[in-house]
């Protein structure tokens, strides 16, 4: 088999395969036998038609079958011989088959490109790291969330107010007020004042009691279409928040000594949460900086395949998402970014000979069990599952890669006051309203 290969670019390949008659004649004879099994000729049983008769009457059809069924076999042998791994279906062209002479064809395909990492120097990557500065209002908001978790729920008989929960059935009705069959939502919890039960709907729900009925209009899709529902109220519930006193502190955080210590411990947890948020964002910015530094080419077929899987996952987890092309457009930059990082990641692992051993995995699991002794058995059980263990291996490798990139990073710390974040959030909410 004569194989001529051509590199079009870093990922596109083209090979021309030329096989002599001696190399393919046995396969062609097998093709004749297979063809004879599906031929019906008077006077002959299936599979028993003489070769000469078959070739005389059906040679073009036999040759066409042979070409169609053999191209992929010879193509796979050729790429294996050359040590190439296609990432897509090959595009076959220029097929020439001459009985008794040779069989020649061309295949264009894509491979995973070899990525070249530019020489890394100190401060090759410039990355910002956010330092969040919290304040007393953050602590108050965190304590309010804790109060929500310890709230008592009581039934309200004198009418719903802002932030109460109205429990009832929602029946969609048409323009004349007639119920639409199959459009009933049973036992739904509606929070008064929360979208979409704010604005006019809030006014309608204000003061409503068990047994009452009313009509509310709510959006039913992203384009702004609305539907009218009749609400049959079953119950009205109100959360009664506990006072922040010694009893509350004891139940919310038994290790807190007093109010001052309680607030300090809440502040520490908040700082840790913001630190984790900062670290996660920094890691993303760091890999983005490396992607920009290398900017590898990628095979369009790999990007298309990866994007296709992303779109399927999004549509499965969001049954209401039906515009496939819109989702595809939204996630295309993400797919291309992730694919570039995948190629760079593999190159660094290969260049640096990185690996995650079973000892590395065991050490990490042991550390988790030591940090969370009450969950030791659950952790042991969780990581016995191969898929969870595999994800842990990927996480450990990612940490190793990020540590490698940190060696070439200049970090610029940017301080952000959480009060500014709250103002931005309030501004966005007011704009949406």
Position 267 scores a pLDDT of 96
Half-sphere exposure of 255 (CA within 13 A, CB side): 3
- By the 10 Å C-beta count (0-12 exposed, 13-18 middle, 19+ buried), 176 is classed as exposed
* Domain that includes residue 302, residue range: 256-432
d(CA 251, CA 82): 69
Quick one: tokens of 403?
Answer: 């540590």
Quick one: tokens of 149?
Answer: 């978790």
Measuring CA to CA, which residue among 34, 215, 38, 14 is closest to residue 111?
14
Position 125 scores a pLDDT of 95
Half-sphere exposure of 82 (CA within 13 A, CB side): 21
Measuring CA to CA, which residue among 230, 215, 218 is closest to residue 180?
230
d(CA 318, CA 196): 19
DSSP string across 230-298: EEEEEEEEEEEPPPSSHHHHHHH-TT--SHHHHHHHHHHHHHHHHHHHHHHHHHHHHHHHHHHHH----
In a domain, 116, yes or no: no
Residues 201 and 280 in one domain: no
In a domain, 147, yes or no: no
Whether 240 has a pLDDT exceeding 80, the answer reads yes
Residues 268 and 379 in one domain: yes
Split into its structural domains, the chain has a count of 3
Quick one: tokens of 227?
Answer: 């539907």
- Using 50, 70 and 90 to split pLDDT, how confident is the model at 427? low
Whether 243 has a pLDDT exceeding 60, the answer reads yes
pLDDT tens digit sequence for 69-90: 899 999 999 999 999 999 999 9
Q: Any idea what the CATH number is for the domain that residue 426 is in?
A: 1.10.3120
**The dihedral formed by the CA atoms of 363, 367, 370 and 375, expressed in degrees to the nearest 10:** -100
pLDDT tens digit sequence for 96-144: 998 889 999 999 999 999 999 999 998 899 999 999 999 999 999 999 9
Residues 266 and 233 in one domain: no
Q: Any idea what the CATH number is for the domain that residue 70 is in?
A: 3.30.70.1050
Q: Any idea what the CATH number is for the domain that residue 171 is in?
A: 3.10.50.30
């Amino acid at each position: 088999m004569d194989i001529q290969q051509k590199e079009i670019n870093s990922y596109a390949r083209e090979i021309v395969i030329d096989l002599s008659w001696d190399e393919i004649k046995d396969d062609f004879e097998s093709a004749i036998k297979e063809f004879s099994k599906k031929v019906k000729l008077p006077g002959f049983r299936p599979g028993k038609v003489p070769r000469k008769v078959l070739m005389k009457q059906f040679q073009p059809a036999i040759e066409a079958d042979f070409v169609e069924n053999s191209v992929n076999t010879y193509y796979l042998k050729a790429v294996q011989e050359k040590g190439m791994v296609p990432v897509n279906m090959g595009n076959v062209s220029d097929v020439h088959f001459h009985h008794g002479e040779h069989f020649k064809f061309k295949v264009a395909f894509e491979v995973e490109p070899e990525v070249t990492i530019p020489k890394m120097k100190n401060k090759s990557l410039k990355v910002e790291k956010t330092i969040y500065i919290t304040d007393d209002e953050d602590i108050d908001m965190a304590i309010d969330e804790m109060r929500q978790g310890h709230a008592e729920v009581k039934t309200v008989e004198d009418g719903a107010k802002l932030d109460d929960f109205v429990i009832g059935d929602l029946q969609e009705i048409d323009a004349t007020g007639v119920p639409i069959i199959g459009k009933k939502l049973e036992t739904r919890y509606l929070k008064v004042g929360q979208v979409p039960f704010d604005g006019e709907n809030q006014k309608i729900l204000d003061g409503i009691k068990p047994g009452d009925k009313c009509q509310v209009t709510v959006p039913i899709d992203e384009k702004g279409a609305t539907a009218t529902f009749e609400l049959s109220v079953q119950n009205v519930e109100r959360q009664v928040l506990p006072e922040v006193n010694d009893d509350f502190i004891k139940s919310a955080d038994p290790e807190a000594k007093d109010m001052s210590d309680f607030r300090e411990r809440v502040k520490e947890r908040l700082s840790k949460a913001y630190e984790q948020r900062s670290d996660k964002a920094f890691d993303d910015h760091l890999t983005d900086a490396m992607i920009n530094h290398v900017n590898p080419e990628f095979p369009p077929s790999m990007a298309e395949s990866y994007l296709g899987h992303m779109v399927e996952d999004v549509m499965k987890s969001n049954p209401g998402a039906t515009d496939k092309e819109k989702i595809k457009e939204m996630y295309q930059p993400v797919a291309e970014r992730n694919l570039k990082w995948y190629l760079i990641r593999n190159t660094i692992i290969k260049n640096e000979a990185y690996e995650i051993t079973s000892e590395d995995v065991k050490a990490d699991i042991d550390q988790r069990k030591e940090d969370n002794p009450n969950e030791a058995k659950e952790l042991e059980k969780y990581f016995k599952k191969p898929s969870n263990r595999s994800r842990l291996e990927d996480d450990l490798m990612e940490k190793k890669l990020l540590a490698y990139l940190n060696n070439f990073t200049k970090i610029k710390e940017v301080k952000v006051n959480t009060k500014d974040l709250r103002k931005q959030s309030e501004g966005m909410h007011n704009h949406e309203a």
